[in-house]
Structure 1
Amino acid sequence: MDNDVCHEPQFRTVIEPFRIHSVEPLRMTTAAQRRTKAAEAHYNLFQLHAEDVLIDLLTDSGTGAMSRDQWAAIQHGDESYAGSPSYYLFRDAVRHLFPYEHVIPTHQGRAAEKIFFGVLGGPGKVVPSNTHFDTTRANIEFTGAEAVDLVIPEGHDPSLVHPFKGNLDVDRLEALLTERGDDVPVVMLTVTNNSGGGQPVSLDNIRAVCEIAHRHGKPLFLDACRFAENAWFIKEREPGQADRDVVSIIQDMAACADGMTMSAKKDPMGNIGGWLALQDDELAAACRNLLILTEGFPTYGGLAGRDLEALAQGLKETVSHDYLRYRIRSTAYLADALEHAGIPCIKPAGGHAVYIDAKAMLPHIDPLHFPGQALSVALYETGGVRACEIGSVMFARQPDGSEKPAAMELVRLAIPRRTYTQSHIDYVIEVCEQVKARAGDLRGYRIVEEPPALRHFTARFAPMT
């Protein structure tokens, strides 16, 4: 047989599996202008005007580009208050991947969390996970419950290469359920593990967590925002999974769990939306009652019919092997370039973001003077790149009001889906290199004003003198 038929040629270039159909302008600014804008925002990058940002890597949540077919689907949106056909199209698209009886739409993921933990949480309860993300933790703690992180030890070492650093430590889960089982209403598992560097969870680990949870009589729920990226990592890294279709891997992940919370602004390619899906009839009824109080009727849940249609189409597109191959390779492209430049990052690269190890890059800045915030501000002032601190600003404050440094001091460069080209990412690499060259001159920050919860969104900072 011809070798050209037997062997697919390999190329270095990461090509986008799409063509650009519509564009929007970027506003160029000077370094002096950006320094002024950062000061006016009290050095909180969430408070910048988006038009003053050149490359926006603050989050991949709701910031991606919708496809031609998603925009076409919007025209099919039916805005009936109750029983819209758009809901049933959306429900069936969810069920194709996640076979849960009850699919409850919400306006975004934290609304699903608010409802879910509003029913299951409360004082004295404890909710284990590999690593809770910020809104999950906040919604658990708002009810008076405790959020406990049980990621494997490898997940705390940024420089260690391990294929599934998002795995939950099953021995610690077993111990927790043995000691405090009566206090645990649900076991959560975040896929991929965002706060731990976007690291995936293996299918074997999902199955092991499922077995332990069910043996102790506890439901397992997935925080499944990046389920498709997690499934692709399973396909790439887990023995015996390479020849499988990603849809079947997702279905196996879902079959282990009793339900899920979802921000549809991530892998489902939406600019807005989320859902709560589950099997238990009684729990679903309680959640729907809260939904009606806060979100709307159960067949729209705070979303327009056109949003539901766009999400149904997005769920088809996110499982494309061509798309996922591009998505993961293009993220690794950024991580590889930063490593080559001597910039310490979490290894291996996650799916949706590259995480710079600010503690290693800025060892002269005390963790409670927020090295991640210092690095994030420097990236913006230098080149207009907006990133997100995931460290002691986000996680140091304890429920009793004390401060404890976070396990890792990270800066997340979250890559919106189908939004930026390779030249944009090459520019980001240059900006990071310039900041590294003067890393020793960067100063820490102190908080001068903060809210009682989720302070990273609205806190005000001042440079350390």
Structure 2
Amino acid sequence: MAKVKFHSGEAVPLEMHKVRIVQKLSLAPIERRLEAIREAGNNTFLLKNRDIFLDMLTDSGVNAMSDKQQAAMMEADDSYAGSETFTKLENKIRDIFQMEYFLPVHQGRAAENIISRVFVTPGSIVPMNYHFTTSKAHIVLNGGSVEEIIIDEGLQVTSQCPFKGDMDVGKLQTLISTHGAAKIAYVRIETGTNLIGGQPHSLANLREVSRVCRKNGILLVFDASLLADNLHFIKDREAECRGMSVRDITKAIAGLTDIIYFSARKLGCARGGGICTNSRDAFMKMRELVTLYEGFLTYGGMSIREIEALTVGLEETMDEDMISQGPQFIEYMVNDLARQGVPVITPAGGLGCHLDAMAFLPHVPQTEYPAGALASALYLVSGVRGMERGSISEQRNEDGSEVYSNMELLRLAVPRRVFTLSQLKYAVDRIVWLYQNRDLIGGLKFVEEPSMLRFFFGKLEATSGWQAKLVAKFRKDFGDSL
């Protein structure tokens, strides 16, 4: 991905690929979108794809494959055991991460399940820079608890801090001194922290965290699912790394960690995932669970065609043009929105553009889920599906009281090599119009609430008739336009 300056002076991200396969989109009228979001219980996860124009829910499993990945899928060796396809992936893991042992799984949360079952015990603690929904759920299910010790800047919506995903090393040392190293199941670092705006960590911070862990004999577990974006930011923002290749930065990261796991639905633009380590002891503890929960050790719940695609995708992740496209598209979108006064997370991170719902809708209290309401409203006026990353994504306390998120965000994911710049400009235009008419948006309340991972399945309804008013205003301003 390159950034070029136009004659007008505008700097524009330039795609370093061409599109060779297309998929037809549809944009339903706003009246149908109102029916669709109500049928889905104001939960964008429950919308049908036929009712969506731009799907910015996630980058998980929806990144575009390259021509080389598609070609590799035709070479797959479908042997149940001893597959040459798996051997290719295993060798690629050793080459990129310099780790001897590799366990395949069907996706990232499967890796979290296995790691938690092996290393988390009742009463144990897992310090981390910030939690992800499924990682926290698996830790809690196995009797552990999570301690988030991200740096203070990580929870500031607008900031100039280049690495808001860094862990507070002083807090880590205090935590170990207070509870003792034996009570720490492992320390988890999430690259490209998902729930606070895709914010990266630095290599220097990881080095310090690793030093503390090794001094105290504590495992350092690294969630590499969003590694591609974080590699771009380390090379772009960390002065000491600008002369390093992407491959060398990756090896430096791997050398500081004990276990790396990832979702290939994000890293590698395929499906599946894996766990890597140089510890034979850790490998042997996890190996039996892979066979029990995922499948045999040479496929781990993945199709062999996906394994071939992942092998190529991991190699392509070492290409600066590949890893820079997402961050540069996101930066363009964030800067355009900020220029027009729309509250967004800054600096621009990876994964997607994140709208600050509490600043966007200051009149909607957290008790009425502003991020969820904003997701519903944006879909209504644009056909763009985003993801709520706020209090709906949290889980109630055991006594039934609500847990309010540190941030109320609407995430607009930008899958790699999927959208065009004109499509992002359309999304920006509708967001700006919505911000100008934000007073029309009201809150949501649960009418069907699962006890766990409610953001996937829960249903909500509007707390007033605000959606019909928004449709009426849209029709007044846009006429017959979709």
Shared fold by TM > 0.5? Answer: yes
Match of residue 4 from structure 1: none
Q: Distance in 2 between matches of 1:345 and 1:240?
A: 29
Give the deviation of 1:124 after TM superposition: 0.3
Give the Å deviation of 1:165. 0.3
State the SS of the aligned residue for 1:440.
helix
Q: Secondary structure at the match of 2:103?
A: strand
Aligned partner of 1:225 in structure 2 is 225
| Count of aligned pairs between the two proteins | 457
2:253 is aligned to: 253
How is 1:329-368 mapped onto 2 (pairs within 5 angstroms)? 329-368=328-367
SS in 1 for 2:305: helix
C-alpha separation in 1, matches of 2:131 and 2:398: 15
What letter is aligned with 1:80?
S
The more displaced of 98-107 and 280-289 is: 280-289
Instruction: Answer yes or no: is 1:207 the counterpart of 2:211.
Output: no
Partner of 1:127: 126
| 1:38–1:45 CA contact under 8 A, matched in 2 | yes
| Counterpart residue number, 1:3 | none
How many angstroms apart in 1 are the aligned matches of 2:394 and 2:345? 18
Look up the SS of the partner of 1:212 in the other structure: helix
> Could you say which residue in structure 1 is the equivalent of 2:470?
none
TM-score w.r.t. the length of structure 1 is 0.96
Check conservation: 2:326, 2:415, Cα contact below 8 A: no
Show structure 2 runs of 5+ residues with no match: 465-482
Q: What CA distance in whole angstroms lies between the structure 1 residues aligned with 2:328 and 2:146?
A: 33
Aligned residue in 1 for 2:75? 76
Equivalent AA in structure 2 for residue 113 of structure 1: E
User: In the alignment, is the contact (CA less than 8 A) between 1:228 and 1:250 conserved in 2?
Assistant: no
Q: Which runs of structure 2 are paired with 1:275-314 in the superposition (5 Å)?
A: 275-314=274-313
Give distance in 2, aligned partners of 1:285 and 1:9. Answer: 50
What does residue range 91-106 of structure 1 map to in structure 2 within 5 Å? 91-106=90-105
1:419-461 residue CA offsets vs partner (Å, 9 max, x unmatched):
0110110111011012112111111111121222111000010
Structure 1 position 324, deviation (Å): 2.5
Describe the superposition over 1:144-185 as per-residue Cα deviations: whole angstroms up to 9, x where unpaired: 210121110000110122010000011111111111122111
1: CA distance, partners of 2:288 / 2:227: 27
2:47 partner amino acid: L
Give RMSD over aligned pairs: 1.3
Which whole-Å deviations, capped at 9, do the CAs of 1:261-316 have from their partners, x for residues lacking one? 1011113111x110011122222122111111111001110011111110000011
Letter in 2 for 1:18: H
1:30 aligned partner: 29
Cα drift, residue 80 of structure 1: 0.7
Per-residue CA deviations over 1:176-212 (Å, capped at 9, x if unaligned) read 1111122111100000111121011001100000001
SS in 1 for 2:353: strand
Q: Are the structure 2 counterparts of residues 338 and 10 from structure 1 closer, same or farther at C-alpha, using a change threshold of 3 Å?
A: closer
- Cα shift readout 1:47-102 (whole Å, capped 9, x = no counterpart): 01112110000000111111111010000111111110111111111222212221
* 1:400 shift after superposition: 4.9
Question: TM-score of the superposition, structure 2-length normalised?
Answer: 0.93
Tell me the distance in 1 between the aligned counterparts of 2:139 and 2:82: 31
**Aligned AA (2:205):** N
CA distance in 1, matches of 2:145, 2:447: 27
What are the equivalent positions in structure 2 for 1:317-396 lying under 5 Å apart?
317-395=316-394
Q: After superposition, what is the alpha-carbon deviation per residue over 1:4-46, rounded to whole angstroms, capped at 9, x for unaligned?
A: xxxx985523211111111010022000000000001111110
Match of 2:52 in 1: 53
Contiguous gaps of at least 5 residues in structure 1: 1-7
| Contact 1:229/1:267 (<8 A) preserved | no
Native 8 Å contact 2:229 2:324 kept in 1: no
Match of 2:305, as an amino acid?
R
Which whole-Å CA distance do the structure 1 matches of 2:169 and 2:398 have between them? Answer: 25
Contact 1:269 1:318 in 2 (8 A): no
- Contact (CA 8 Å) 2:33, 2:380: kept in 1 or not? yes
Contact 1:261 1:276 in 2 (8 A): yes
Alpha-carbon offset, residue 359 of structure 1: 0.7
- The answer on whether the counterparts of 2:125 and 2:185 sit within 8 Å (CA) in structure 1 is yes
Aligned ranges 1:104-183 → 2 under 5 Å: 104-180=103-179, 181-183=181-183
Distance 2:5 2:342 in 1: 28
Once residues 400 and 86 of structure 1 are traced to their aligned partners in structure 2, the CA distance between those partners, rounded to angstroms, is: 49
Contact 1:396 1:406 in 2 (8 A): no
Give the AA of the match of 1:320.
D
SS where residue 433 of structure 2 aligns? Answer: helix
Out of 203-212 and 260-269, give the one that drifted further. 260-269
Does the aligned pair in 1 maintain the 2:105–2:294 contact within 8 Å?
A: yes
1:10–1:244 distance in 2 versus 1, CA, 3 Å: farther
Aligned-partner residue type, residue 252 of structure 1: A
